[in-house]
Structures are given as C-alpha cells and as structure tokens.
Structure 1
C-alpha cells in the first residue's frame, strides 16, 4: 500500500494546493484510492460548497465525498496562521481533533495527501508548529518551492527544520510560475547539491485544472515512481 504524504511549502503562496491537486489526479488515474485533507484552512469562507477554496480544489481532484469535518477539521475566517487566529479570534486550534480525523480518513483510503498551511514553522500553538503536526502524523513530506530569488534560502531552511524534527523528505517539487525566477535546471542542480534532497520535477504555470490537463502535466514532469517508493 502506498505511503501517505504531507505536502508542505517553503512559504505561503508557493502553490501547494495546485501541486497537491495535480498529484492527487495523477495518483487516482494510476489506480490508487487517494484521499485528501487540509487540517487547518483560513480565509474568507466560500458561499457555496466547502468553506475553504483549497479543500474545494483538493476534493474535486480526488473525486471524494468525505464530509467537510474530515477533510478540513478547522477553518479560520481570517487570512492568518492558526496561532494568530487563536490570539485574534479566540478560536483554539484543536490538535486532538485533527489527529482523530486524520486517523479516520486514513482508514477510508489507501493513501492520503495532507496539505499543510504555509511553511513548516507556521505556528499553531505557542510551542506547536506545522512541523510538530507532520511529526505527530508520522508522515514523510514533499516540499513545494517556487523559482523566485530567495527560493534556495527558504528551501534550505525548510530542509534543516525537517532534519531537526526528524521528518523524512520524499523530495522537492519546483512550482515554476514566476516569470523572473531562477532557471529550473540551475535551481534543481543547486537545491540537490545544497540540501542532498532529490528534486522530483517541476511543473509550469497551470491555468487548466481539468483532470486531463493535470494528469498530462504531472505524468510528464514529476517522477511519480520515486514519490511512491
């Protein structure tokens, strides 16, 4: 049975959701029963469907009918970290609920892709970060980065924190949507040399989120075999 994975990023707005959706579609078309989860989500609630647009994208990609409380146990109606939501809205992040729902979802699917919020050091509680959550879920992670200048610094810091928390890294995926960033070939070379982590591939800017489009792009550009090993 394939191992479940946690999708994290080197920062917020690196395109984790789009990368996760592409991976989910590709895994599903490879015949794997894959479920999705975003433990914490934040932002302006959608009027229809799921509160979180990210969950809407992931659930559509996975073609799942799991209830929202399993897919996204906690939603904060402001664009902020769970810790900031705690301070500003007095809504306490519920770690036991997250882990309970994660266990339930794990039993419903052969494999889960769990998308984090921001980067690995996004604060959830005073001394509990996304890295603690990954550790508690006992999952390896895929790190999504972009190509803009500064990406190498962010990727190295992310890898170092994963080492500190003893989180296995499956690989790095480069989201190549910046028009003025590093050349992917050079970025891949430098990231692999500096982090000793494999780059599983890069994906171009995606404007067509249809199944066929995502499957074509990810099958061509991402080393799915290494991702599943």
Structure 2
C-alpha cells in the first residue's frame, strides 16, 4: 500500500550539534522508514571528507545513505565534493587549494529534487562548520530553503551545544522540524534531557535512538518507527 500520498514532507537537512553525533545513521534510518512508507526518497551529502573508499562512492557515509535509500544516483549529485583530508570545507580549501563549490552543490540539490519526492541532506560537522569565509552550513541550509532536523547526543555538554545550534538556526531563520537525540554514550537520562531541551529551546524532541548494532532494513525500520514521532516529522 502506498502511503506516500498522505505525506506533505518535501526535503530535510539533517544537521548536527557537532561532529560524530551520528548524523549519518539518523539520516539512514529516516531514509529506510520513508522508503518503507512508499516514499521516493533520495539522499545527499554536499561535502564529505576523509579517506576515500576503493570501491563505490568515495565517502563511506554516502555509501551508507545510498544503501539505506536504495538509490544509485550519480556520485557528482549525491556528493558533489569530496576532500581527501578530515577537515571542514574551509580548512580543506586552505590546505588543498580546492575551493568549495557551493553553486555546484545547490544545482545538484535541485537536480536530485526533480528525481525524488523527498531529499534527505546530511550536513558536515556542526551547524557552524565553515565552508567559505563568512559562509557556513547555516548559509547552505538557508539557500536550499528547507527545514532542518537537529541531531544531538546524550553525553554531558549536549545542552550547551544544542541550545547554541537552535539559536543559530533562529538567527538564520531556518525552520526546525525537531530534535533527535542519539543515545549511544553515557550521559543524561533521556527523560531529563528531553524535558530540558524542550523547555530551553521551545523545539520538540522527536525521540531518541539507542545504539544500533543491526543496520539491516528491518532493524532500522522497527527502531525508528518505535522511537521517532514520525507524524510530527512529516507534518
């Protein structure tokens, strides 16, 4: 049964409060859930960095996302730019002399948007990761004209990072769909953290995702349907 007709969601930018907060796995899980609901979902990671894979997409993150969405879109659309050092696009530019191509990223996003009903765009690092001088992830989201989901973690310090991330989204007038907590390390009790984040930011916590060992379709679909408020996300 195709339930996609009832879904109003267009595209989402999955942003993080920091690096290594689990954006890729949250994006992958959302891609699986949407696909299982009958939605034609595409994925994108505008900028990726690190060691290149020998097979498939250069970026392991892009490989994970494409597998979750079961897409085989061209690499130059899904990941327009890849840097061979683990750094922000700005730092990679200065070190490798390769300038980040924002216009290419935006045109790739438009092309992908014509190929799929929904595009899940995974960010890089935190929301103020620099791409160019005075141009950050926030600027990119703003130019894409899509809302964001903020991925945060459960460890101590996350309240500070999450509040700052929300404040920057507000400054750039970026709509926030909600917050997802990645509960894969010791820290705050999730109930307390959910209460505090909602009270402090006024943004709904969509749910929390436990550490995932089984990355199969069935596992991701079950975990995300159980732990994420999909109705609120898809409004």
Is TM > 0.5 for Structure 1 vs Structure 2?
yes
1:192 paired with 2:198, answer yes
Residue-by-residue CA offset, 1:94-139 (whole Å, 9 max, x unaligned): 0110000000000000000000001110000011000000000001
Alignment counterpart, residue 87 of structure 1, candidates 75, 79, 94 = 94
1:120 paired with 2:120, answer no
Instruction: Quote the residue 1:15 is aligned against.
Output: 22
1:164 paired with 2:160, answer no
Instruction: Quote the residue 1:75 is aligned against.
Output: 82
Instruction: State the alpha-carbon separation in 2 of the partners of residues 28 and 228 from structure 1.
Output: 13
Instruction: Quote the residue 2:4 is aligned against.
Output: none
Instruction: State the alpha-carbon separation in 2 of the partners of residues 65 and 57 from structure 1.
Output: 12
1:218 paired with 2:208, answer no
How far is 1:59 from its partner? 0.1
Instruction: State the alpha-carbon separation in 2 of the partners of residues 181 and 68 from structure 1.
Output: 37
Residue segments in structure 1 that go unaligned for 5+ positions in a row: none
So what's the TM-score if we normalise by structure 1? 0.99
Which contiguous aligned blocks of 4+ residues in structure 1 show a shift greater than 3 angstroms?
Answer: none
**Secondary structure, in 3 states, of the residue corresponding to 2:38?**
coil
1:151 paired with 2:172, answer no
Q: How many equivalent residue pairs?
A: 228
Instruction: Quote the residue 1:130 is aligned against.
Output: 137
So what's the TM-score if we normalise by structure 2? 0.96
Instruction: State the alpha-carbon separation in 2 of the partners of residues 207 and 12 from structure 1.
Output: 20
Instruction: State the alpha-carbon separation in 2 of the partners of residues 207 and 15 from structure 1.
Output: 13
How far is 1:3 from its partner? 1.8
Provide the aligned C-alpha RMSD in A.
0.5
Residue segments in structure 2 that go unaligned for 5+ positions in a row: 1-7
Instruction: State the alpha-carbon separation in 2 of the partners of residues 110 and 157 from structure 1.
Output: 31
